[in-house]
Copies of this chain bind each other. A is one copy, B any other.
Amino acid sequence: MGKPCSSCAHREIAEWSVLKGAAVAHLDDARRSRHFLAGEAIYHEGDEATGVYCVSSGLVGIRKVDPDGESVLLRLVRPGQTFGYRSLLTGTPHGVSAEALKEGSICQVPAATVHRMAAENPALVMAFFRHLAQDMADAENKVMETVTASCRVRFLRLLLAFGGEADGDAGTRVSLELPVSRQDIASLIGVRSETMSRVIRAIEAEGLAHFKGRHVDIPDARRLADESFGSLAA
Protein backbone atom coordinates (compact mmCIF):
# COMPACT_ATOMS: atom_id res chain seq x y z
CA MET A 1 0.00 0.00 0.00
CA GLY A 2 2.62 2.49 -1.04
CA LYS A 3 5.51 3.84 0.91
CA PRO A 4 5.02 4.50 4.60
CA CYS A 5 4.39 8.11 5.62
CA SER A 6 7.74 8.26 7.33
CA SER A 7 9.44 8.00 3.99
CA CYS A 8 6.82 9.82 1.95
CA ALA A 9 8.46 12.22 -0.46
CA HIS A 10 6.18 14.96 0.77
CA ARG A 11 6.36 14.31 4.46
CA GLU A 12 7.77 17.65 5.44
CA ILE A 13 5.19 19.58 3.45
CA ALA A 14 1.99 18.28 4.93
CA GLU A 15 0.59 19.03 8.36
CA TRP A 16 1.80 15.67 9.58
CA SER A 17 5.30 17.02 9.81
CA VAL A 18 4.50 18.24 13.31
CA LEU A 19 4.03 14.65 14.45
CA LYS A 20 6.96 12.83 15.94
CA GLY A 21 7.98 9.25 16.74
CA ALA A 22 5.13 6.97 17.67
CA ALA A 23 2.49 9.25 16.22
CA VAL A 24 3.97 8.85 12.76
CA ALA A 25 3.75 5.08 13.12
CA HIS A 26 0.11 5.41 14.12
CA LEU A 27 -0.54 7.58 11.12
CA ASP A 28 1.10 5.05 8.86
CA ASP A 29 -0.91 2.28 10.37
CA ALA A 30 -4.25 3.99 9.99
CA ARG A 31 -3.97 5.57 6.61
CA ARG A 32 -5.32 3.88 3.52
CA SER A 33 -4.09 4.67 0.06
CA ARG A 34 -6.43 4.53 -2.90
CA HIS A 35 -5.91 4.97 -6.58
CA PHE A 36 -8.09 7.41 -8.53
CA LEU A 37 -8.58 7.76 -12.25
CA ALA A 38 -8.86 11.18 -13.82
CA GLY A 39 -12.41 12.41 -13.35
CA GLU A 40 -13.26 10.19 -10.38
CA ALA A 41 -15.04 11.85 -7.49
CA ILE A 42 -13.41 11.70 -4.07
CA TYR A 43 -16.31 13.26 -2.23
CA HIS A 44 -19.32 15.39 -2.99
CA GLU A 45 -20.79 18.55 -1.58
CA GLY A 46 -23.04 17.57 1.31
CA ASP A 47 -21.21 14.34 2.14
CA GLU A 48 -20.16 13.76 5.72
CA ALA A 49 -16.42 13.86 6.25
CA THR A 50 -14.92 10.44 6.84
CA GLY A 51 -11.29 11.43 7.11
CA VAL A 52 -8.54 13.72 5.96
CA TYR A 53 -7.02 13.23 2.51
CA CYS A 54 -3.42 13.63 1.47
CA VAL A 55 -2.43 13.70 -2.18
CA SER A 56 0.39 11.29 -2.85
CA SER A 57 0.49 11.68 -6.62
CA GLY A 58 -1.78 13.07 -9.31
CA LEU A 59 -3.82 16.24 -8.98
CA VAL A 60 -7.03 17.02 -7.14
CA GLY A 61 -9.58 19.72 -7.92
CA ILE A 62 -11.87 21.36 -5.38
CA ARG A 63 -15.12 22.26 -7.02
CA LYS A 64 -18.40 23.85 -6.14
CA VAL A 65 -21.60 23.71 -8.15
CA ASP A 66 -24.57 26.00 -7.76
CA PRO A 67 -28.21 24.89 -8.02
CA ASP A 68 -28.34 25.73 -11.75
CA GLY A 69 -25.54 23.28 -12.43
CA GLU A 70 -22.89 25.95 -12.93
CA SER A 71 -19.61 24.55 -11.71
CA VAL A 72 -16.57 26.50 -10.57
CA LEU A 73 -13.16 25.04 -9.93
CA LEU A 74 -12.09 26.75 -6.72
CA ARG A 75 -8.55 25.47 -6.32
CA LEU A 76 -6.10 22.69 -7.04
CA VAL A 77 -4.50 20.37 -4.53
CA ARG A 78 -1.04 19.08 -5.41
CA PRO A 79 0.99 16.13 -4.19
CA GLY A 80 2.02 16.52 -0.58
CA GLN A 81 -0.97 18.69 0.30
CA THR A 82 -3.92 17.74 2.46
CA PHE A 83 -7.58 18.49 1.95
CA GLY A 84 -10.93 17.66 3.49
CA TYR A 85 -9.70 18.48 6.99
CA ARG A 86 -12.01 21.43 7.34
CA SER A 87 -15.26 19.48 7.38
CA LEU A 88 -13.74 16.76 9.47
CA LEU A 89 -12.49 19.04 12.21
CA THR A 90 -15.64 21.15 12.36
CA GLY A 91 -17.93 18.15 12.07
CA THR A 92 -19.94 19.67 9.24
CA PRO A 93 -20.75 18.19 5.82
CA HIS A 94 -18.42 19.03 2.97
CA GLY A 95 -19.30 22.39 1.44
CA VAL A 96 -17.35 21.60 -1.71
CA SER A 97 -16.63 18.53 -3.77
CA ALA A 98 -13.25 17.00 -4.55
CA GLU A 99 -12.31 15.05 -7.66
CA ALA A 100 -9.17 13.67 -9.21
CA LEU A 101 -8.12 15.78 -12.17
CA LYS A 102 -5.19 13.54 -12.99
CA GLU A 103 -4.82 9.89 -12.20
CA GLY A 104 -2.92 9.28 -8.99
CA SER A 105 -3.08 7.93 -5.50
CA ILE A 106 -4.48 9.58 -2.46
CA CYS A 107 -4.16 8.58 1.17
CA GLN A 108 -7.00 8.85 3.58
CA VAL A 109 -6.49 9.11 7.32
CA PRO A 110 -9.71 8.00 9.02
CA ALA A 111 -11.70 10.39 11.16
CA ALA A 112 -11.08 8.62 14.45
CA THR A 113 -7.33 8.74 13.97
CA VAL A 114 -7.32 12.41 13.12
CA HIS A 115 -9.53 13.25 16.06
CA ARG A 116 -7.35 11.32 18.46
CA MET A 117 -4.18 12.87 17.14
CA ALA A 118 -5.69 16.35 17.21
CA ALA A 119 -6.71 15.85 20.83
CA GLU A 120 -3.26 14.62 21.81
CA ASN A 121 -1.30 17.04 19.72
CA PRO A 122 -2.43 20.66 19.68
CA ALA A 123 0.31 21.47 17.19
CA LEU A 124 -1.54 19.43 14.61
CA VAL A 125 -4.64 21.58 14.96
CA MET A 126 -2.46 24.63 14.69
CA ALA A 127 -0.90 23.25 11.52
CA PHE A 128 -4.34 22.79 9.98
CA PHE A 129 -5.22 26.28 11.10
CA ARG A 130 -2.23 27.64 9.20
CA HIS A 131 -3.22 25.73 6.12
CA LEU A 132 -6.75 27.06 6.31
CA ALA A 133 -5.47 30.58 6.89
CA GLN A 134 -3.45 30.34 3.70
CA ASP A 135 -6.43 29.00 1.76
CA MET A 136 -8.51 31.84 3.13
CA ALA A 137 -5.95 34.40 1.99
CA ASP A 138 -6.00 32.80 -1.45
CA ALA A 139 -9.78 32.90 -1.50
CA GLU A 140 -9.76 36.59 -0.59
CA ASN A 141 -7.33 37.28 -3.38
CA LYS A 142 -9.54 35.37 -5.74
CA VAL A 143 -12.55 37.45 -4.78
CA MET A 144 -10.53 40.61 -5.36
CA GLU A 145 -9.33 39.40 -8.73
CA THR A 146 -12.67 38.26 -10.06
CA VAL A 147 -14.16 41.60 -9.06
CA THR A 148 -11.41 43.92 -10.23
CA ALA A 149 -9.30 42.23 -12.91
CA SER A 150 -10.14 41.39 -16.51
CA CYS A 151 -10.11 37.75 -17.55
CA ARG A 152 -6.95 38.41 -19.52
CA VAL A 153 -5.11 39.62 -16.45
CA ARG A 154 -6.49 36.80 -14.35
CA PHE A 155 -5.20 34.30 -16.85
CA LEU A 156 -1.76 35.89 -17.01
CA ARG A 157 -1.52 35.75 -13.23
CA LEU A 158 -2.54 32.12 -13.26
CA LEU A 159 0.17 31.40 -15.80
CA LEU A 160 2.72 33.04 -13.56
CA ALA A 161 1.46 31.02 -10.63
CA PHE A 162 1.82 27.81 -12.63
CA GLY A 163 5.27 28.80 -13.75
CA GLY A 164 6.36 29.22 -10.18
CA GLU A 165 7.74 32.51 -9.02
CA ALA A 166 10.73 32.03 -11.27
CA ASP A 167 10.88 35.63 -12.43
CA GLY A 168 14.52 36.49 -12.74
CA ASP A 169 15.40 40.13 -13.09
CA ALA A 170 15.50 40.51 -16.83
CA GLY A 171 13.69 38.66 -19.59
CA THR A 172 13.65 35.12 -18.30
CA ARG A 173 12.43 32.29 -20.51
CA VAL A 174 10.00 30.03 -18.69
CA SER A 175 8.29 26.96 -19.99
CA LEU A 176 5.68 24.92 -18.24
CA GLU A 177 2.91 22.37 -18.61
CA LEU A 178 -0.67 23.33 -17.91
CA PRO A 179 -1.79 20.91 -15.21
CA VAL A 180 -5.41 20.75 -16.38
CA SER A 181 -7.60 21.04 -19.45
CA ARG A 182 -8.46 24.44 -20.88
CA GLN A 183 -12.02 23.99 -19.80
CA ASP A 184 -10.83 23.58 -16.25
CA ILE A 185 -8.55 26.57 -16.53
CA ALA A 186 -11.52 28.58 -17.75
CA SER A 187 -13.51 27.36 -14.76
CA LEU A 188 -10.61 28.25 -12.48
CA ILE A 189 -10.63 31.89 -13.54
CA GLY A 190 -14.39 32.00 -13.92
CA VAL A 191 -14.91 32.46 -17.65
CA ARG A 192 -16.36 30.44 -20.52
CA SER A 193 -14.09 28.15 -22.44
CA GLU A 194 -14.75 30.12 -25.65
CA THR A 195 -13.44 33.22 -23.96
CA MET A 196 -10.44 31.26 -22.75
CA SER A 197 -9.61 30.30 -26.32
CA ARG A 198 -9.81 33.89 -27.45
CA VAL A 199 -7.66 35.16 -24.63
CA ILE A 200 -5.04 32.54 -25.41
CA ARG A 201 -5.09 33.44 -29.06
CA ALA A 202 -4.63 37.11 -28.27
CA ILE A 203 -1.71 36.42 -25.96
CA GLU A 204 -0.16 34.20 -28.58
CA ALA A 205 -0.59 36.92 -31.20
CA GLU A 206 1.19 39.44 -29.01
CA GLY A 207 4.05 37.04 -28.57
CA LEU A 208 3.66 37.12 -24.79
CA ALA A 209 3.56 33.35 -24.70
CA HIS A 210 3.42 30.40 -27.04
CA PHE A 211 0.91 27.60 -26.58
CA LYS A 212 1.11 24.08 -27.97
CA GLY A 213 -1.32 21.65 -26.39
CA ARG A 214 -0.66 21.86 -22.70
CA HIS A 215 2.82 23.16 -23.15
CA VAL A 216 3.41 26.86 -22.64
CA ASP A 217 6.53 28.75 -23.51
CA ILE A 218 7.02 32.23 -22.09
CA PRO A 219 9.90 34.03 -23.79
CA ASP A 220 9.97 36.95 -21.38
CA ALA A 221 8.41 36.23 -18.00
CA ARG A 222 9.16 39.73 -16.85
CA ARG A 223 7.14 41.30 -19.61
CA LEU A 224 4.27 38.97 -18.87
CA ALA A 225 4.44 39.82 -15.19
CA ASP A 226 4.32 43.53 -15.98
CA GLU A 227 1.26 43.03 -18.15
CA SER A 228 -0.45 41.08 -15.42
CA PHE A 229 -0.59 44.14 -13.21
CA GLY A 230 -3.36 45.97 -15.01
CA SER A 231 -0.90 47.97 -17.09
CA LEU A 232 0.59 49.51 -13.98
CA ALA A 233 4.36 49.33 -13.66
CA ALA A 234 6.02 48.62 -10.33
Chain B residues, CB < 8 A from A180: none
**B86 close to A133 (CB less than 8 A):** yes
Q: B86 contacts A136, CB within 8 Å? A: yes
Q: Give 1 or 0 for each of A68-103: 1 = CB within 8 Å of chain B CB.
A: 101010100000000000100110100110000000
**Minimal Cβ-Cβ distance residue in B for A119:** B122
**Whose C-beta in chain B lies nearest to the C-beta of A231?**
B68
Instruction: Give the distance in Å from the alpha carbon of A133 to the alpha carbon of B131 in the complex.
Output: 11
Whether the pair B148, A147 counts as a contact (CB closer than 8 A) is: no
Interface residue tally on A, bucketed by range: 35 or more
Copies in the complex: 2
Chain B proximity mask over A98-122: 1 for CB below 8 Å, otherwise 0: 0000000000000000000001001
Chain A interface SS verdict (over half): helix
Asked if A129 and B89 make an inter-chain contact with CB atoms under 8 angstroms apart, the answer reads: yes
Q: How far is the CB of A213 from chain B (nearest CB, A)?
A: 27
Q: Does A44 contact B (CB under 8 A)?
A: no
Contact B64 A140 (CB under 8 A): yes
A132, CB-defined interface residue at 8 Å: yes
- In the complex, A95 Cα to B143 Cα: how many Å? 13
Contact of A144 with B66 in the complex, beta carbons under 8 Å: yes
A148 engages B232 (CB within 8 Å) = no
Verify if A4 is at the interface (C-beta below 8 Å from B): no
Give Cα A190–Cα B129 distance, bound, in whole angstroms.
Answer: 28
Q: Quick check: B96 and A148 within 8 Å, CB to CB? A: no
With A and B bound together, what is the CA distance between A89 and B229 in angstroms? 31
Name the contact of A139 in the complex, choosing from B92, B119, B140 (C-beta under 8 A): B140
Q: How far is the CB of A111 from chain B (nearest CB, A)?
A: 15
Between A67, A136, A142, A190, the greatest number of chain B beta carbons within 10 A of the residue's beta carbon is seen for A136
Residues in B with CB closer than 8 Å to A53 are none
Given A96-B140, A122-B122, 17 new contacts (CB under 8 A) = A67-B230, A68-B232, A72-B143, A72-B147, A74-B143, A89-B129, A90-B129, A95-B137, A122-B125, A128-B129, A129-B129, A135-B136, A139-B139, A143-B146, A146-B147, A146-B190, A147-B190
The chain A residues found within 8 Å of chain B, CB to CB, are 64, 66-68, 70, 72, 74, 86, 89-90, 92, 95-96, 119, 122, 125-126, 128-130, 132-133, 135-137, 139-140, 142-144, 146-149, 190, 229-230, 232
